[in-house]
Amino acid sequence: MNGLELRAIVLGSGAGGGVPQWNCRCRVCRLAWSGDLRVRHRTQSSLAVSVDGDRWLLLNASPDLRRQITDTPALHPRGEDRQSPIVAVLPTNADVDHVAGLLTLRERQPLVLHATRSTLDTLAANRIFDVLAADVVERRAVGLGEVFEPLPGLSIELFAVPGKVPLWLEEGDVVTDLVGEGTVGVAVEGGGRRLLYVPGCARMTPSLEARIAAAHVVLFDGTLFDDEEMIREGLGTKTGRRMGHMPMTGPGSSTEAFAAFAGVRKIFVHINNSNPALIEGSPEADRIDAAGWDVAFDGMEIVA
C-alpha cells in the first residue's frame, strides 16, 4: 500500500434527461416536479474517480457537468487564477448524455481527453467540440483492453459490453447486441482496489462475469426497472433490450445475473426517470434493496 485510496463520487445518477426530465410528466417526474421528497432530483450520468483526492478523472461528461462541478467541492478550482482538479476525462461513448459536458470544459484549461477511436472520430466530425482547443486539450485514443494511467496510481481499462450505437447515430436496422467500441465498460484500479463502471449494458456475458467476480465495487446500468417499462408507462415504443439496457428485474435482468456475486458491492447508476425504484419506499425500491443493491444518488461518495 502506498497511501492511495480508490474513491469515486457519483456526479450524476440519472440516465439521459435526468430526473425530472424537462418535458416529462411520468409518475416519477410528476413527484419530482411537485417537490415530493420521496423522489430525489438526479442529474445525468457521470462519475469522478481519484486515488489521491486531489486529481480527478471524469468518466463521462454529462450535459449537467457545470452544475455537478459547482455541487461537488472536491472539483472546485483551488489556488490562484485558473485551475481545476479535473485533469482527465473519459467518455465511454458518444451518447449526448456522455459527451455534451465536454462543452463545459472549455476556457483553455489543460486536460487530457481519453476515448476510443470511434468516439474521437465522432467528436472530430462535430466541430463544436473544437472549443476544447487542440493546443491545451490533448485527445488520446485508447484501445479496448489497453491498460493506461490517466492519473498517477490509477489504472484504467476499457472493455466492450453488448450494446448499440448512440441514438443520434442510428441508421436503418439497429443491432442491440453489438460488442465493440460503441458501448464500453471501464475497469478502474487503484490503491489495491477494483471498481467497474458499466453505465450501459444489453446483456451479461461470461467475460463480464469474470470481471465482476474480481471487482470490489460495480456501478451498473440501472436504466429500467423492467423490460416493458417504457411501453407500459406510455413513454415510448421500445423495450429495454431494444434500447440496449438490461432491466433491473425479470428474466435476463441485472439482479438475476448478479445474484452469484454476494461479495461485490453493487450500485445502480444511469437510472431513467421512468424507473419506479427512484421512488423511496416504493415496492420497487424495496425489492432492489432486498436484492442487495444500492440505487445511486447525486453526490454519493464511494470508497472502493
Using CB under 8 A, list all residues that contact its own copies: 16-18, 20-26, 29, 33, 41, 43-44, 63-67, 69-70, 76-84, 86, 96, 99-100, 103-107, 109, 125-128, 130-131, 167-169, 234-235
Nearest distance from C-beta of residue 237 to its own copies, angstroms: 10
Nearest distance from C-beta of residue 108 to its own copies, angstroms: 8
Nearest distance from C-beta of residue 154 to its own copies, angstroms: 21
Nearer to its own copies (CB atom), residue 38 or residue 82: 82
Nearest distance from C-beta of residue 115 to its own copies, angstroms: 14
Residue identified by cell 498517477 is 152
Nearer to its own copies (CB atom), residue 82 or residue 140: 82
Nearest distance from C-beta of residue 272 to its own copies, angstroms: 11
Nearer to its own copies (CB atom), residue 126 or residue 207: 126
- C-alpha to C-alpha distance for 157 and 47, rounded to whole angstroms: 15
Residues 6 or more apart whose Cβ sits within 8 Å of residue 125: none
Nearer to its own copies (CB atom), residue 99 or residue 285: 99
Nearest distance from C-beta of residue 71 to its own copies, angstroms: 10
- C-alpha to C-alpha distance for 217 and 281, rounded to whole angstroms: 24
Nearer to its own copies (CB atom), residue 22 or residue 206: 22
User: 74 near 53, Cβ under 8 Å?
Assistant: yes
Q: Which of 240, 304, 217, 277 is nearest to 19 (CA)?
A: 277
Q: Output the nine-digit C-alpha cell for 183.
A: 458501448
Q: Angle at Cα 2 formed by Cα 213 and Cα 46, nearest 5°?
A: 55
Backbone angles phi, psi at 94, to 5 degrees: -100, 20
Q: Which of 160, 186, 187 is nearest to 244 (CA)?
A: 160
Nearer to its own copies (CB atom), residue 212 or residue 224: 224
